[in-house]
Amino acid sequence: MKNSSHSLVGLKELRENIDTYIDAVEKGRSFIVVRKSKPVFRISSLEEADELWEPVVDFTRIKKGGVALNQILSRL
């Protein structure tokens, strides 16, 4: 679920109640974090961030179920 509007939250409030904000983000909410009344960053769900990522390699094409990380690292 995407949320086009972002709620503002103070950095101190975020730190003191991080679990509450993690739960809200997992439910699709996003927040603009402010420090001294200036926005410093945004937190949002990974689903929202997925549109920014581009697949580079699909390891499931090499082997059904993917390839173990230690196999990849041993070949580098």
pLDDT in tens, 33-42: 999 999 999 9
Q: What is the residue-averaged pLDDT of the chain?
A: 83
Neighbours of 31 (CB within 10 A): 19
Residue 4 C-alpha from the chain's centroid: 16
Domain annotation for the chain: domains and CATH numbers: 7-74 (3.40.1620.10)
pLDDT per residue over 4-23, tens digit each?
467 999 999 999 999 999 99
Whether the CB-CB separation of 64 and 44 falls below 8 Å is answered with no
State both tokens at 41. Answer: 């960053």
Give residue 61's pLDDT. 76
Q: What is the DSSP letter of 4?
A: S
3 state DSSP class of 31: strand
Is pTM, for the whole model, over 0.75?
A: no
3 state DSSP class of 8: strand
Give residue 5's pLDDT. 62
